[in-house]
Chains A and B, each alone.
Chain A
Amino acid sequence: MSAAGEVVYLDNNATTKVAPEVLEEMLPYFSEKYGNPSSMHDFGGQVAKKLNEARERVAALLGADPTEIVFTSCGTESDNHALRGTLESYPEKRHLVTTRVEHPAVRSLCQYLGRRGHDVTELPVDSDGLLNEDEFGASVHEGTALASIMWANNETGVMFPVERLAEIAHEKGVVFHTDAVQVVGKVPLDLRHGAIDLLSLSGHKLHAAKGVGVLYIRRGTRIRPLLIGGHQERERRGGTENVASIIGLGKACELARQTIEEERTRVKELRDKLQRELLARAPDARVNGHLEQRLPNTLSISFEYVEGEAILLMLSRLGICASSGSACTSGSLEPSHVLRAMGVPFSAAHGSIRFSLSRYTTEAEVDYAIEHVPQVVKRLREISPFGRGATDRDARMEYGRGSAPPGGGS
């Protein structure tokens, strides 16, 4: 474990800790106030009131109207609802547009829809992980039912200009959905003054509980429900509400509104420090993704000649939690589809590590990682036959951005 004997949690894009204030607000709704919000008695009615408050708090964080908020069970459900519900509303349109770097919640679904007879365009990204807007514009047409483009990438943190893309989609009469799971709570949003029709978010990525999500549906958007049942959520999502988690999500959104400024100041400074120091202390390292158009909390970094799972196991023993785009961590044999879509060489993709911070991350934790990560990489390079330099012809593979600390704003 770490010096303090605690876990140094740098994996906040995977999940976050439930904020203490959130937990406190949730607890009464398991025990004393367990009524069903649909019931015709005050005991249930008080819960319904609290649900409405949560809806207002979520809407306030998104810059949306409370009636546009539909509570779901997770980000994946929101994505499924958005895509399948839209396609069902436009049966004559068989085409959809997405990207090669989406989260599996969208990517696997689009591939499934493709096998079921839909025509799917997967837009490529460049070596910085960015989309070409003109290419997007050329891909949508009258036969397109929906474009689904993530707001920020979970692995690299690279952000797409989805507000502009939504306007382009609208010009062609195409519904625009964005998976904003990694953005909500990290970057201020104002959906009211934008063109996005549908947006997915997940509670556990912003210090609420697991098992709750939201689909934002702009007023007037044609969409069928995914779960058909009771009249809950204005008949847009049947099923008794996950009351305590929804109330917790409301609180988490309120907290996020208060602390969001910290993300692009303190959290970003810590991320930049981590990036700067790791590049300085570990040779043959490179950052994956555009350095500016990126979430303030995310760092994807590749260490050549070492393999990501081995790094994670060693870090785990030191109490440091992170993720990898390496093949060996996923059970598949190929490294992350995101890094491959960016053309990151296999040799670098295998050694990629993602660090993701939160507002609970302290400077001491970042310093602890700065001290230990380069040592782990060095240790594994001592074991590796490639560590001494390019003995293998693969080691001389075309190599992109160098290991010098990036200039400019970071």
Chain B
Amino acid sequence: MWEYSEKLKDHFYNPRNVGEIENPDVEVQVGSLTCGDALRLMLKLDEHQRIVDAKFQTFGCGSAIASASALTEMIIGKTLDEAARITHRDIAEYLGGLPEEKIHCSVMGHEALEKAIALYRGERASEEDLEEGRIVCRCFGVTDTKIRRIVKENRLRTVQEVTNYTKAGGGCMSCHPQIEDIIAEVWGELREKGEEAAAPRPRLTNIQKIAMIQEALEKEIAPALRADGGDVELIDVDGDRVQVALRGACADCPASKLTVKSVIEAKLHELVSDSLVVEEVEA
């Protein structure tokens, strides 16, 4: 069973502002039956663009219903400008936190709000126009635009994180390579603009560097290789040269060697340092 906070449970068992508004100023829907959760949000505004009423309907699990309830409580009484500053983190915090795997519930709430504001302000002509981008995750209908935005906003680095935030990649998993490409692209852009992270990477001591390389290999790279009957072992680190030996199925396959080397290198660039060069050794 999930560990839900008392506040979340309260918002699930006694959801605030459920229902419909007659003649709403704006109405949006995100998600679908197939995806397992959907949210319909309706807003009523006064002449100063202040949200005087908000109502919702949700199909989904406990945290999806609670997130929508929390969202409406948070935005009623706020102007659109004030509401636009609310993030999915604020929704999760309001509920006393969400389990990792349920972050997509607060993301869905935020998405509905964002969509409603854009629609009201006429930044989009119709609801359909918002569905831009190319579908990457077919299981849950998530577009590249959305994944790109979420990766950028939250500085996500792994497919698992993208799944936790957007559900993308949580179904048949066939889109994982595409999600990896998007992550790499976004980080490439961030690097170019020098916006990689709030804090720049600190200079590493040799010991720190080796420990981080070891951890990256063990946690991020080896599991994927092992799934296909291969493995990788760290042999030595000399300055920026990282020597690894491929094992099992990887070792017997000349074609996979090239791929594996570039995959390991990309991963180490991402997680440890951009200057690392991976070399394969027989050992």
Seen from chain A, the residues whose Cβ lies within 8 Å of a Cβ on chain B are: 115-117, 305-310, 313-314, 317, 326-329, 331-335, 346-347, 350, 382-387, 392, 394-395, 397
Contacts and interface: CB of A to CB of B under 8 A. Distances in A.
B64 A307 contact: yes
Given A317-B13, A333-B170, A395 B62 contact: no
A328 B170 contact: no
Nearest to B170: A333
B170 A385 contact: no
A192 B170 CA distance: 45
Given A332-B170, A333-B36, A346-B34, A382 B61 contact: no
Nearest to A313: B62
A385 B18 CA distance: 10
Contacts of B167: 333
Contacts of B143: none
Given A310-B65, A328-B60, A347-B33, A386 B229 contact: no
Contacts of A329: 61
B163 interface: yes
Which among B9, B34, B171 has the greatest number of chain A C-beta atoms within 10 A? B34
13 contacts: A306-B59, A310-B61, A313-B62, A328-B60, A329-B61, A333-B163, A333-B167, A335-B36, A346-B34, A350-B33, A383-B58, A385-B40, A394-B34
A394 B61 CA distance: 18
B3 to A, nearest CB: 12
Interface centre among A332, A334, A383, A386 (most CB of B within 10 A): A383
A379 to B, nearest CB: 10
B34 A309 contact: no
**B interface, how many residues as a size bin?**
20 to 34
A307 B60 contact: yes
A307 B31 CA distance: 13
A116 B36 contact: no
B227 to A, nearest CB: 6
A317 B39 CA distance: 24
Contacts of A392: 29, 32-33, 38
Contacts of A116: 229
B60 A115 contact: no
Interface in B53-85: 57-62, 64-65
B46 interface: no
A9 to B, nearest CB: 15
A384 B62 contact: no
Contacts of B33: 305, 346-347, 350, 386, 392, 394-395, 397
The 8 closest A-B pairs by CB, nearest first: A333-B170, A328-B61, A394-B33, A385-B57, A309-B61, A385-B40, A384-B59, A347-B33
